[in-house]
Chains A and B, each alone.
Chain A
Amino acid sequence: MSDNSYSNKYDVIIVGAGPAGVSAAITCAKAGLNVIMLERGEHPGSKNVMGGILYRHPTEQIIPEFYKEAPLERHITEERVWLLSKDSAVTMGYKSKRFDEEPHNCFSVFRSKFDKWFAQKAVDMGVTLICETLVEDVIMKNGKVVGIRTNRDYGDLYANVIVAADGANSLIAARAGLHPEVRSNTLALAVKEVYSLDREKIEDRFNIDSEGGVTIELLGDATQGLMGTAFIYTNKDSLSIGVGAFISQLMKQKISVYDLIESVKTHPMIKPLLKGGETKEYLAHLIPEGGYRAIPKYCIDGLLLVGDAAMLVNSLHREGSNLAMTSGRFAGEAIIQAHSDGDFTAKGLSTYKELMEHSFIVQDLKKYKNTEKFFEEHMQFFTLYPQIADDAAYEFFKVDGIPKKEKQKIIWKQITNKIPSWRLLLDIYNGWRVVK
């Protein structure tokens, strides 16, 4: 486009410059399509909250060797899971020298920096990026999505295909009639804090060297018995601390997420890790955690839904950005195909559906489709079992002259006092079944 020519017609319009939108944009731009991407924030990532772990594999499919120049914090060398009760933690984890070697498995990142960098890559490849612009509506013609309307003067744009990459609670999907209604039990609310802490303190307390990093997923008491999880990730000179729970349960129990994060930070197992630091930033965000059952129709005439807008989050594995990137890339590939066929109807875009259904995205979400419901009906996993695990571990490790055999009996008795043994075995079996 020359300095003074302006067109309101593009091959592709992408709404939202998060990981999903940028991945779709780059994929399309590489094939020479004329792409415009609209972002409401001051810059991509400025509205973003992720306390984030970014995965290498899906990111490299968009930008090979991105880690050589992208703004990353630490590569993760150790993953820990802590099952918290009131004053204890049963811990589990994995640390490997292999995670210390390039190419790394995953990284802690600040999304405000990473998204900006990632979107700039798209711009470098010819994508037009317009920030500080809110997309307010879709333009339909004969039942087909043909354009979008922004909040600016002369703000209508048209394209062969529109990509809704506008995150959880997608306005675009809603305006196109794709989200029946968002129910509070498919949405989780998360809060995140960036907690500044001296580099040396982080490295000492987490037993890492200057580049490596640790993730800790916190279960049990971290969410005061609500269905949800909390986390701590190490950055260069700060920690990302967050906690999320389903809105329906927060409402029922009258607990605010702000109380939750305070109780995480003051938990006796966590407080010493944070000593001497201070809160630098504080943010809240919605996560669609409806799983497989909540995925809306994501491909209609002229419109594709990607990333969080399509409710693609695997809550069990703290994944989201990878699903966003992969779905964005698939959408891009389908759009390229549709352009070579000249067919932008749902049928012409159906490559997207095929790619999705044959990929880990839909397969994983399908595999875990019963988990939300299962855990919702078995709240003892968040309340009773952490305590049982704590008591059992305490008995087991306490040296008090009681023979081991006797100890096992004591432990079992403690457990069966709290829950009938058949119930426990059934829960374990069913719990295993929903995640197997």
Chain B
Amino acid sequence: MHSVVCIKQVPDTTEVRIDPKTNTLMREGVPSIVNPFDMHAVEAALKLRDEYGGKVTVITMGPPQAVEALRRVKTLGVDRTILLSDRAFAGSDTLATSYIITQAVKKIDSEDAVDLVLCGKQAIDGDTAQVGPGIATRLNMPLVTYVIDIDSVDTEKKTITLKRSVENGRTALCVEYPMLMTVLKELNEVRYASLPNMILATNFKAEVWNKDDIGAEMKNMGLDGSPTAVRKIFSPPVRECGEMIPHGIEQPDVAVHNLIEKLSHNKTI
């Protein structure tokens, strides 16, 4: 099995603060981490490799510093890491991001056939959950989102059996691969890196691909290829908590009376 995992470097939101005056994110000094969902995607790919053999390639699109995200997953023992980095990529929205990543996956596939593409459910900063589906659509691959379990792989029939989370429950699916999945944290527990892998990660070199390496066209990426623009970022107003009208069970008539009183008092009825 050759899995390609897409990871995004994101600010550690547990340490991001919003400037109350300007409503902008204060990113200064905030450490970067690998998008938490993506760590579970990497773990899933490693598990499949441990069980069925093969290879795990991890890619990320971002500025040169994003190599640290690749270093982090290198400590888990992934085989190959590629940084997609080019000034022309800056300002890409989800449409352009999925285009760039698709181009990269195509190139990887041409060197070494890709069986699975794995993404996180969503990025904790952008939060759109669009990049994974965007890549699947462009690659014309089956897509399964919200994966919480990978049961088995039939390498003869080239099918994978998995479970996805849906509202009110879960569904089991058997899907042909090559396919793309986006994963939830319940899928697995991320392994604790072994010391040899930690040591190897200290002096690894990620491959870096630019727009020419992946044959990407200018019109499809960066600001030119991004129809979305962020107009404003704000934190939603804190919702005031509701008021409980007590004793509904013991004294329903009193509770109803109190409710009507309140509603008519503030002229709702």
Q: Hey, which bits of chain A sit against chain B, CB under 8 A?
A: 1, 3-4, 6, 8, 36, 123, 128-130, 133, 150, 152-157
Inter-subunit contact A152/B203 (CB<8 Å): no
CB within 8 Å of A: which of B232-254? Answer: none
Closest A residue by C-beta to B194: A153
Known: A133-B195, A150-B195, A152-B194. 19 other contacts (CB 8 A): A3-B203, A3-B204, A4-B200, A6-B196, A6-B199, A6-B200, A8-B196, A128-B202, A130-B195, A130-B199, A130-B202, A133-B198, A152-B193, A152-B195, A152-B198, A153-B195, A154-B195, A154-B196, A155-B194
Residue B158 CB within 8 A of the other chain: no
- Beyond A36-B199, A128-B199, A130-B199, whether A3 also contacts B194 by CB under 8 A is no
| A149, closest chain B residue (CB) | B195
Chain A residues in 8 Å Cβ range of B192: 152-153
Cβ-defined contact, B205 with A129, below 8 A: no
Inside 8 A of B194's CB, which chain A residues have their CB? 152-155
- Could you say which residues of chain B place their CB within 8 Å of the CB of A155? 194-195
The CA-CA distance from A2 to B199 in the complex, in Å, is 11
Set of chain B residues within 8 Å of A8, measured between Cβ atoms = 195-196
Number of interface residues of B (CB under 8 A): 12
Query: How many A-B residue pairs lie within 8 Å, measured between CB atoms?
Result: 39
Interface string of B182-208 (1 = CB under 8 A from A): 000000000011111011101111000
Q: How far is the CA of A8 from the CA of B195 in the complex (A)?
A: 9
CA distance A152 to B205 in the complex (A): 23
Residues of B within 8 A of A36 (CB): 199
Residues of chain A within 8 A (CB-CB) of B196 are 6, 8, 154
Give me the 6 closest cross-chain CB pairs, A-B, nearest first: A153-B194, A152-B195, A155-B195, A6-B196, A154-B194, A130-B198
Q: How far is the CA of A133 from the CA of B195 in the complex (A)?
A: 8
Q: Write the B77-105 contact mask toward A (1 if CB under 8 angstroms, else 0).
A: 00000000000000000000000000000
Chain A's nearest CB lies how many Å from the CB of B262?
Answer: 41
Q: Which residue of A lies closest to B200 (CB)?
A: A6
26 pairs, A vs B, C-beta closer than 8 Å: A1-B203, A3-B204, A6-B196, A6-B199, A6-B200, A8-B195, A8-B196, A123-B202, A128-B199, A128-B202, A128-B203, A130-B198, A130-B199, A130-B202, A133-B198, A152-B193, A152-B194, A152-B195, A152-B198, A153-B195, A154-B195, A154-B196, A155-B194, A155-B195, A156-B195, A157-B195
**Which residue on chain A has the smallest CB distance to residue B204?**
A3
Query: A130: which B residues are within 8 A, CB to CB?
Result: 195, 198-199, 202
CB–CB A3/B205 < 8 A = yes
| Residue of A3, A4, A152 with highest tally of chain B CB at under 10 A | A152
Distance (Å) between the CB of B231 and the closest chain A CB? 33
Residue of B nearest to A5 (CB): B200
On chain B, the residues within 8 Å of A156 by CB distance are: 195
Give A152 to B192 CA distance when docked, in angstroms.
Answer: 7
Residues in chain B near residue A3, CB distance under 8 A: 200, 203-205
Closest to A156 in B: B195
User: Residues of B contacting A128 with CB < 8 Å?
Assistant: 199, 202-203
Instruction: Find chain B residues with CB under 8 A from A129 CB.
Output: 202
Q: Which residue of B lies closest to A131 (CB)?
A: B198
Min CB distance, A157 to chain B, in Å?
7
Q: Distance (Å) between the CB of B190 and the closest chain A CB?
A: 13
Which residues does chain A contribute within 8 Å of B193, judged by CB atoms?
A: 152
A152 / chain B contacts, CB cutoff of 8 Å: 192-195, 198
Query: Which of chain A's residues has its CB closest to B31's CB?
Result: A42
Residues of chain B with a CB closer than 8 A to A1's CB: 203
Bound-state CA distance A123–B201 (Å) is 13
- Nearest CB of A to B205, in Å: 7
Complexed CA–CA distance, A103 and B160 (Å): 67
B201 closest partner in A (C-beta): A130
Question: Chain B contacts of A4 at CB under 8 A?
Answer: 200
